[in-house]
Amino acid sequence: MQMKCWYPAECEQQFQRLQTRLAELNVQLTGQLVEKINARFLRLNPEMALVLDEDGLSLSANGMKMQPDWRAEIPRLKRASLKSEMLARACQLGEKPSLIDATAGLGHDSLLMAYLGANVRLIERHPILFVLLEYTKAQAEQDAFLQAHMSRIQLIHADSNSYLNELAQQSEYVDVVYLDPMFPQRDQNHQAQKKQAQVKKQMQLLHMLLPEDGEMDLGDQLLHLAQKIAKRVIVKRPRHAVYLAEQTPDHQWLGDACRFDAYFPKGQI
């Protein structure tokens, strides 16, 4: 895999470290010095690339730039509680569970779950997104508010199907496996889906970075594997989406825009 990175001269050392890190993940990174990286530059250079600047490490394309900015989640975390967050109730975060987020994405849900007490393993297979997560976790470790919770977050570069299957073969169990498939395209209400507002900038870039791989990204196989190793499996879905793997959940928590489907493989409710 190849990727370009734009960066100013003052970020030369950071680029060298990034290049070395991505080489370890089988990504060939080429660098291009840029005098000034601003909105105009990004519009004039619409191809997908990484950007190293005063904001840290970002992904850019089509004039947009995004990063999994955990520090921007602090206001949400300060408002969150075990009672107020539907996700916390679904995952029983009050019991401080061992939890695997098998569809890490930008890590925002995992950050919330770790903040509320879970010990979370984030599994991400794409090397670019994984490195973006590494950078944002490193920034969070320097943040006065977030740093106390970072020890409960472990980033793992792996394919979730392979990782969960290996745990099953080793008879290793966890309290919760959390799934939030990125491409829930089989929706029960297609017209309502078409009328939704344009996908947020972060999701637009993620969809460009992570092309659909069919059933794998729908998470059907992940659900079957998760049920082998977890006391409960929690699946986040759009409110009107069909059940993952066409499997009726044992329980649901319903919100306005999304819901959490719960599966209790070992009969524990």
| Cα dist from 21 to 75, 127, 131, 134, whole Å | 31, 10, 8, 10
Does the annotation list 121 as a binding residue? no
Q: What is the pLDDT along the chain (269 residues), one digit of tens a residue?
A: 999 999 999 999 999 999 999 999 999 999 999 999 999 999 999 999 999 999 999 999 999 999 999 999 999 999 999 999 999 999 999 999 999 999 988 999 999 999 999 999 999 999 999 999 999 999 999 999 999 999 999 999 999 999 999 999 999 999 999 999 865 444 444 434 443 434 466 777 887 887 654 333 557 889 999 999 999 999 999 999 999 999 999 999 999 999 999 999 864 44
Q: Where are the domains of the chain?
A: 2-66, 70-263
pTM of the shown model:
0.89
Could you say which DSSP state residue 187 is in?
A: B
Residues belonging to the chain: 269
Does the annotation list 259 as a binding residue? no
Domain 70-263 of CATH type 1.20.1050.10: no
Does the annotation list 24 as a binding residue? no
Q: How many CA atoms lie within 13 A of 213 on its CB side?
A: 13
Could you say which DSSP state residue 81 is in?
A: -
- Residue 42 · residue 64 · CB < 8 Å: yes
232 φ/ψ angles, rounded to the nearest 5 degrees: -145, 145
How far apart are the C-alpha atoms of 111 and 77, rounded to whole Å?
Answer: 9
